[in-house]
Amino acid sequence: MAMVCLSDFEAYAKKYLPKITWDYFAAGADECTTRDENILAYKRIRFRPRMLRDVSVMDIRTKILGSEISFPVGIAPTGFHQLAWPDGEKSTARAARAMDTCYIASTYSTCSLEEISAAAPGGLRWFQLYIHRNRAASQQLVQRAEAAGFRGLVLTADLPYTGKRRDDVRNGFRLPPHMKVKNLEGAFEVCKMSPSFHSLLDPSVTWNDIHWLRSLTCLPIIIKGILTREDAELAVRHGVQGIIVSNHGGRQLDEGPATIDALVEVVEAVQGRVEVYVDGGIRKGSDVLKALALGAKCVFVGRPALWGLAYKGEEGLQDVLRILQDEFRLSMALAG
């Protein structure tokens, strides 16, 4: 079957991944209202295309925090890539480097920071951090990321506790015995993803902890999970370099806003003082153009990256990114 659009990869992944894995990747919180709204909100936005503009030459490159990427689509942090493909995050890193874009590696990777770095030397990578109750373990992760050549630290702010994902509860989701959360090996007794694992997260984290993070590293800090103007203001005040407007793919608080709707409010509040990115619901190149038109500097894709991996590993993920790149370029041209 010819893979023409991202939904082709979604259909493939749904058909061929084990049901428990598919349910885990696809899960939203509660009734999945926010997960689905992330996609539907894009469909309600319309272009005002302009005609007879010279679109014979188009430059789709951009810079994020000073690093150039080939087009404004990066890979969002998602956990457990080995569930989708045996080489896991190593394949993800190689695909991102081949497409010359940014990959945000998750704390909950099934390959270690060092393995990810070694798999794609020279690639642009940021590291996504959860702050655990064991602060020493979190501090060590930050230092390891910096040592391994990661160029940004992405603090996820929307997970003091895990949202209720009904299918995961029904399925009793846990990592298969041969897989480990490699970055946390040795830091905790529990490195198999058991239901109790997220209880290691620190729910007492506040804005003040950004100062603590800044004392540990020279890396720029990007905060992920912002959905309101009030929090955008606080993020700027606390000296972060970037904001990812995100609702965790609809996996945390259900009934929150779609990210593309929240983007407008955040961009307005920030007024160019820090870079603003968005994830959640991006399925077509035209979605990327809509996000940029509404003020995002770059978008990040989560589930579609996993579908690409499930299809053909590194090659499949490159296919997904290439389709988005081609669709984005075409949308730009047709919109003038």
Measure the CA–CA gap between 121 and 93, rounded to whole angstroms: 9
The rounded distance, in Å, linking the Cα atoms of 86 and 178 is 11
What pLDDT, on a 0 to 100 scale, did the predictor assign at position 191? 47
Within a domain: 320: yes
Q: Is residue 239 part of a domain?
A: no
pLDDT of residue 202: 96
CB 303 within 8 A of CB 249: yes
Q: How far apart are CA 192 and CA 180, in angstroms?
A: 6
pLDDT, position 4: 98
98 contacts 124 by C-beta, under 8 angstroms:
no
Q: Is residue 135 part of a domain?
A: yes
pTM as predicted: 0.97
β-strands 242-245, 275-279 pairing: parallel
DSSP string covering 298-328, please?
EEEESHHHHHHHHHHHHHHHHHHHHHHHHHH
Number of domains in the chain: 1
**Domain assignment of residue 61, yes or no:** no
* In a domain? residue 311: yes
72-84 residue pLDDT tens: 999 999 999 999 9
What CATH number corresponds to the domain at position 296? 3.20.20.70
Q: Which residues of the chain have pLDDT under 70?
A: 188-198
Could you tell me which residues are annotated as the binding site for glyoxylate? 24, 165, 248, 251
**Beta-bridge partner residues of 276:** 243
Q: Of 81, 178, 211, 248, which residue is the catalytic one? A: 248
- H helices within 6-120, ranges in order? 6-16, 19-26, 33-43, 89-98, 113-119
Q: Output DSSP code: residue 28.
A: -
| Any domain includes 229 | no
What residues form the annotated binding site?
Answer: 24, 77-79, 106, 128, 130, 156, 165, 224, 246, 248, 251, 279-283, 302-303
Question: Is residue 232 in some structural domain?
Answer: no
- Tokens standing for 256? 């929150």
The helix (run of H) or strand (run of E) holding residue 290 is helix 285-293
Taking the CB of residue 167, how many other CB atoms lie within 10 A of it? Answer: 16
Q: Reply yes or no on whether 248 is catalytic.
A: yes
Residue 99 CB-density burial (10 A; 0-12 exposed, 13-18 middle, 19+ buried): buried
pLDDT of residue 196: 54
Report the alpha-carbon distance of residue 10 to residue 154 in Å, rounded.
27
* pLDDT for 30: 98
CB neighbours of residue 160 within 10 Å: 13
Q: Which pLDDT value is given to residue 32?
A: 98
Give the residue numbers of the binding site for FMN.
77-79, 106, 128, 130, 156, 224, 246, 279-283, 302-303
Q: What is the pLDDT of residues 99-156, one digit of tens each?
A: 999 999 999 999 999 999 999 999 999 999 999 999 999 999 999 999 999 999 999 9
Q: Give the count of beta carbons closer than 10 Å to the beta carbon of residue 52.
A: 6
Among 159, 142, 152, 63, which Cα is nearest to 103's? 152
Which pLDDT score, from 0 to 100, does residue 199 have? 76
Residue 90 lies in a domain: yes
Which pLDDT belongs to residue 275? 98
- For residue 17, give its domain range: 6-46+68-186+247-255+279-331
